[in-house]
Amino acid sequence: MIHRPDPPSNNIPHRPFTHEIDHPKYRIKNAVIIRRQFIHVFLMNVIPAIATLIAVAVAVRYGLSGIELPICAGMWFVSFGIGGTIGLHRYFTHRSFETAL
């Protein structure tokens, strides 16, 4: 849980979307959450990047057959085509990506 102190008592409005967002008082200190974030970043960013480099190296070395390009196009459509459409719909219609800070 993120500890958020009370806003300053003077008349200056408290704005968490400024430089204060990276302030130590807003950093997560729970070791379990930090570990889960590290695992999530590794699984969702590092492994796909490495797999992409391996796939390019294999394609260059062995070439592509007639089935790999349709599979690639289908995966691209599912991930970017449908995912981007759903994400933009949620953002522009429901404003569901706004944060609670």
3 state SS of 28: coil
User: How does pLDDT run along the chain (101 residues), one tens digit per residue?
Assistant: 566 666 555 555 555 555 545 556 667 788 898 899 889 988 988 998 999 899 889 989 999 888 988 998 898 888 888 888 888 888 888 776 665 55
Name the residue ranges covered by the structural domains of the chain.
1-63, 65-101
As given in the structure block, the two tokens for residue 60 are 């260059």
pLDDT value of position 14: 52
pLDDT value of position 51: 92
Contacts of 58 (CB under 8 A, 6+ apart): none
CA dihedral 60, 63, 67, 69 (to 10 degrees): 40
3 state SS of 4: coil
pLDDT value of position 91: 81
As given in the structure block, the two tokens for residue 15 are 């704005």
